[in-house]
């Protein structure tokens, strides 16, 4: 995976807290998935898509079907990092989202820590069977 040349669609600032780190003092590997989840949730919210509202009005929820993660550099306690949603490609019932976590090292520079390709499926909230992503949701998410 390599970073697209385009600017992120969404960027969430995150501070690394004690609870995020392992015995070695670095961010526990699974916590990057939590950071990516938070960034996707806020990306949806910024687009006017509340996940609870989507469930209540459309009967749809998004679930992670697959994640490919590449760890490049460790983040440490008190680091300021930015977690971004870089791009999204949609099919009828899923999204493929590219994400990155970067340590902020200056006003115009950062270090890539972790990157992921996340496959998100849209499913019926009661049966968990695949369903189409509502067209108005796609219109708000894709450029």
Residue 122 is encoded by which pair of tokens? 């849209």
Q: Is 22 a catalytic residue?
A: yes
- List of residues 6+ apart from 88 with CB closer than 8 A: 9, 95, 96, 97, 98, 141, 142
Rounded Cα distance between 66 and 138, Å, is 20
- Residues forming the active site: 22
């Amino acid at each position: 995976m390599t970073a697209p040349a385009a600017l992120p669609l969404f960027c969430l600032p995150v501070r690394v807290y004690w609870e995020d780190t392992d015995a070695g003092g670095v961010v526990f590997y699974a916590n990057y998935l939590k950071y990516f989840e938070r960034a996707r949730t806020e990306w949806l919210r910024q687009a006017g898509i509340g996940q609870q509202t989507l469930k209540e009005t459309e009967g749809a929820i998004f679930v992670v079907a697959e994640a490919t993660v590449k760890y490049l550099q460790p983040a440490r306690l008190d680091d300021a990092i930015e977690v971004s949603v870089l791009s999204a490609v949609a099919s009828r019932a899923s999204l493929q989202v590219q994400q990155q976590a970067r340590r902020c090292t200056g006003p115009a520079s950062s270090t890539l820590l972790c990157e992921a390709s996340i496959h998100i499926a849209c499913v019926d909230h009661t049966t968990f069977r695949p369903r189409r992503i509502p067209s108005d949701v796609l219109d708000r998410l894709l450029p």
